Structure 1
Amino acid sequence: MATTLTLNGSESLVVRESTTDRLEVEATYEPRGERPPKHVHPHHDEEFTVLSGTVRVGFADDERDYAAGEAFVVPRGTAHHMWNPGDEPAVLRWLSTPAGRVEEFFTAMDRLQREGRVGLVPLVGVLHRYRDVMRPTSPVTRAAVAFLGPLARRDR
């Protein structure tokens, strides 16, 4: 049976393959999702193929919409964010290589959702624990993760 994880109120994943080398998920972005903060992945690359709907991707100062059948790559260390600006759900094939602790990070985010712990302190706690997987690019968010993250670690 496939594992389904909820990352936030508008994004969910179904794990299709999970090995140390690769994590493949099918991601669903709900319509009119919020623009998440830009971030980087220091140790893994991401490849996306849009299966249905439209997803908007922001790189540096550029934004582009990708529609069904289109694909794009996010190399490690590249600042980016993505969301669904459309009226229909967007479904993507998402491959992370190497997988490292990406699935653990997704599971920790899902746990926050399931426990109703969606505030700032629990989130920065997860970001602090998984800073080898995902790092915010905003100096303010990075400062919050650095200062509040260790406090949130006690609140698992």
Structure 2
Amino acid sequence: MTVLHFADGQVITIEESTTTLAFSAVLPPGHVGPPAHRHRFETETFTVEDGRLQMRIGRRRYELAPGQSLVVPPGTTHCFANPFDEPARIRTVESPVGPLQPLLRAQAGAVGRPSLLQLAEINAAHHWSFTLSGCPTLPSGSSGGYSPRSRGRDDEPSATPSFRSRTPEWVPVACPAVGRPFASAPPALGTGAGRDER
């Protein structure tokens, strides 16, 4: 097991495995979580062990209580936060193993934020699996360059350019979970029910 301590008070305990990445995280009160993002190849399962967690999966928002889980399929935009007054302990399982563990290690080891170059090198080593919401995804089989794409529904890139938005598509979008209404419980726990309906 590896324990990572973050400057914002978050503590993550990683269980060693070669096929899946499993870790427990203690999120301090008021933790804003990661920006909205998606994984091209990996499925993530979030389970609340203690406290509460707010999540956004696609367009849906949820408030999870202890014992509740949500599954995020590959390619689905998601984020989470703990805007509550008590810590939250969550367990996350990523399958198959992607760039999440080296990304977490880089963030925990950095003074401030890790360099964009370091994060890009980690992502490149994992076939560009991790994408922030609003950033273009690489076309299948691409080895590098981004193609010009713009935002579509839910900040997902669309295949046709649109010039309606003045916000550049590369701007990371923070998780809009805090302060927004959430469902009291997911409609179907652990089934991936929060995926975008297209």
Is 1:75 paired with 2:73? yes
Compute the TM-score of the two structures, normalised by the length of structure 2. Answer: 0.61
Structure of higher CA gyration radius = 2
More helix by share: 1
Structure 2: give runs of 5+ residues left out of the alignment: 136-166, 173-198
* Equivalent residue for 1:117, pick from 104, 112, 115: 112
State the identity as a percent. 26
Give the total of aligned pairs: 137
Name stretches of at least 5 consecutive residues in structure 1 with no aligned partner.
146-156
- Structure with greater strand share of residues: 1
| Matching residue of 2:93 | 95
* Kept in 1: contact 2:45–2:93 (CA 8 A): yes
User: Which of residues 107, 121, 129 is equivalent to 1:129?
Assistant: 121
The 1:43–1:6 alpha-carbon spacing in structure 2 relative to 1, beyond 3 Å, is farther
Q: Where does 1:32-47 land on structure 2 (aligned, <5 Å)?
A: 32-34=30-32, 36-47=34-45
Using a 3 Å threshold, how does the CA distance of structure 1 residues 41 and 126 change in structure 2: closer, same or farther? farther
Which position in structure 1 is the counterpart of 2:170? 143
Report the residue type matching 1:13 in the other structure.
I
The separation in 2 between residues aligned to 1:11 and 1:142, in whole angstroms, is: 29
Q: Shift in Å at residue 143 of structure 1?
A: 3.2
Cα distance, 1:48 vs structure 2: 1.4
Which 10-residue stretch deviates more, 128-137 or 61-70?
Answer: 128-137
Per-residue Cα deviation, 1:111-130 (whole angstroms, up to 9, x for no partner): 21xxx1327xx2x3344223
CA RMSD between the two structures: 2.4
